Structure 1
Amino acid sequence: MSLSWRDRYIGVLSPERVALVRRRRGWNRAFDIRIDAPCGDASPAAAATALEGLLQRPEVAAGNITLLLSNHFVRYLLVPWRSETKTPEEFMAFAGICCDRLYGGDPGRRILRTARERAGRPRLAAVLEAEFLAALRRAVGASRLRLASVQPYLAAAFNCLGVAFRQDSFLFLVAEPSRTCLLVALGGCWHSVRAGSGEDSPQALADLIEREAQLLGLEPDGMPPIFVHSPRQSRLDLPECNGVAPATLALPIPAALAEGADPLLAMAMTVA
């Protein structure tokens, strides 16, 4: 009897490539296959097409799949607390209004997910193009897999590495190749989230953190801890930023995948 239905797949989508790994169910939850495909261009549609092709490969058996989206494909915002929103439906409607104010009205956008927070605190929300999400669902629907979840990389990295954030204030920088996301918490609440194009070299990341500290009006004696995660660089030697030495957060690549390891594999490791 085949137990392949218990397998779990992780699909990682970036503007350049889509990668698929399988995590076997069992005591060690080992990764045992890795396949990838290039994207025709940097658009979400091209990534969805590449994913569909991968999922039709003969080595892809039945199971569940989690899709992890590069921050290139996701927009983020903080949704302020509003006591008038009593139901999840009301909150999502309010989050949509906040998204329109920040990014402009676009009926083609959809709030993918929001973080849970205590009453009175802003919540982090991720926004995705509705057509992209529909294309991902069609790609999985045409395969032998069942879609378990779609996760933005910033959220997956934070949840995976969150043991480091047991404090009320910090800066968390996720640095993909050519894309950065900087999440700031102050006094136990989300304060800001910024994303943009940029290099992931140590000096470029340090400059980004320094600029953010200036925008926040943080003095060296009040600078919170800084955590940096880069899927392409497990060891980053950043200079001090506003008087604080950044700490690098990385995950070990499984031995079976260590040869020729790339950022997409490191990203897959953040999926719980």
Structure 2
Amino acid sequence: MSRLWRNRMQVFLAPGRVNLVGFARGIKPIQRFRQSGTCGQANAVSQWQVPLQMLEQMIGQVDDSFRRGAELRITLSNYFVRYGVIAPQPSLANPDELMAYAGFQMREIYGEHVDNWALSLGTWDPHGGTLCAAIARDLQVELETLARRHETLLVHIEPYLAAALDHWSKQLNDKQIWFVLVESGRFCLVSSLDGVWRGVRNQRIVENLEEELLSALAQESIMSGSGQLTEQVYVFAPELVGPLPDGHGSRWQFVHLPDESYPAPAHFPWIKRVDDRQHHA
């Protein structure tokens, strides 16, 4: 077996949940364990304090021979992320100018909070723009410290929305994308038209998901200038008890992900069933 191959641990980190999945190294990595834990937020200084403590415990319980030198890939709940659309700008000459431009645009949205955030960008298209994600720099530092403490290699910290878009990118309509990602108590909505990113929302569910999502879709449709009578909306909502109903005057047709041909990544949130057997390292 090649020494270049590493065991891999994938994490989903949310305010009330931590998922940890381990894959043994090889040409086709084999899932070795899948764990999930829930946690509260009593007296927490920050939203990530308690789930980080749980992640620390979960990784600490993994066998040393599997954990040491393993890759660590962390997906962050949208509760921990702020998003913005970076508008197209063909005149940017290099990556430094792009990051400065992104920082300026995020500051226009969020103000001085940006000073304490670490920014990351999707694939940049001078004529289509991109999405920008921001997380607290303190959270990034704590995750990097945790990885070193457990002798793992932190490969990336990825926002949930970006991870889901990347995973299902080949199934989405390139001409018009409406993509919705639902978590417990929150949803993200992102849209693009003719290869140009138009809008992104990351909002709390106040009372009724269906009503608030339809309202958001209507508003984004007006702002993006989309005039189609019927549009497909791709929805990934694993923590939702039942699918969103279709209809709505035939305007919005919900396409629910995943499908059998392209399942969700193992570390993404899942609905725990009675017969779901957890395997621990």
Report the TM-score, using the length of structure 2 for normalisation. 0.80
1:212 to 2:217 alignment: yes
Greater mean deviation of Cα atoms: 32-41 or 130-139: 32-41
CA gap of 1:189–1:138, structure 2 versus 1, over 3 A, is: same
How many angstroms does 1:58 deviate by? 4.1
- Assess if the C-alpha contact under 8 Å between 1:177 and 1:199 holds in 2: no
Select the residue among 229, 234, 246 that pairs with 2:254: 246
Percent of pairs with identical residues:
23
Gaps of 5+ in 2: 275-281
The answer (yes or no) to whether the contact 1:170–1:224 under 8 Å persists in 2 is no
Paired residues in the alignment total 256
The equivalent residue for 1:19 is 19
After superposition, where does 1:1-272 map in structure 2 within 5 Å?
Answer: 6-26=6-26, 28-39=28-39, 41=41, 43-59=47-63, 61-62=67-68, 63-106=70-113, 107-111=115-119, 113-198=120-205, 204-205=209-210, 207-217=212-222, 221-233=228-240, 236-241=243-248, 243=250, 244-250=252-258, 251=263, 260=272
SS in 1 for 2:73: strand
Cα deviation for residue 210 of structure 1 reads 4.3
| Matches of 1:110 and 1:252, distance apart in 2 | 27
Range 209-218 or range 62-71, more displaced: 209-218
Equivalent pair of 1:235/1:248 in contact (CA under 8 Å): no
- 1:17, distance to aligned residue in structure 2 (A): 2.1
Tell me how far apart the structure 2 counterparts of residues 185 and 43 of structure 1 sit (CA, whole Å).
Answer: 31
CA distance in 1 between partners of 2:271 and 2:219 (Å): 41
What's the CA shift for 1:74? 0.4
How big is the shift at 1:29?
2.8
Q: Deviations over 1:96-153 (max 9, x none)?
A: 1111110111321110x21113222221010010011000100111002110111101
| Superposition deviation, residue 190 in structure 1 | 0.8
AA aligned opposite 1:94: Y
AA aligned to 1:80 is A
Shift of the alpha carbon at 1:39? 4.1
Contact 1:5 1:61 in 2 (8 A): no
Does the 8 A contact of 2:76 with 2:160 survive in 1? yes
Note the C-alpha offset of 1:50.
Answer: 2.5
Q: In structure 1, how many angstroms separate the alpha carbons of the residues matched to 2:249 and 2:195? A: 21
Judge conservation of contact 1:79–1:95 (CA < 8 Å) in 2.
yes
Gaps of 5+ in 1: 263-272
2:168 aligned counterpart, secondary structure: helix
| Cα shift at 1:216 | 2.4
**Which stretch has the larger CA shift, 180-189 or 26-35?**
26-35
| CA apart distance, 1:5 | 6.8
CA distance in 2, matches of 1:236, 1:146: 38
The one-letter code sitting in structure 2 at the alignment partner of 1:181 is C
Root-mean-square deviation (Å): 3.0
What's the secondary structure of 2:112's corresponding residue? coil
Question: Which position in structure 2 is the counterpart of 1:265?
Answer: none
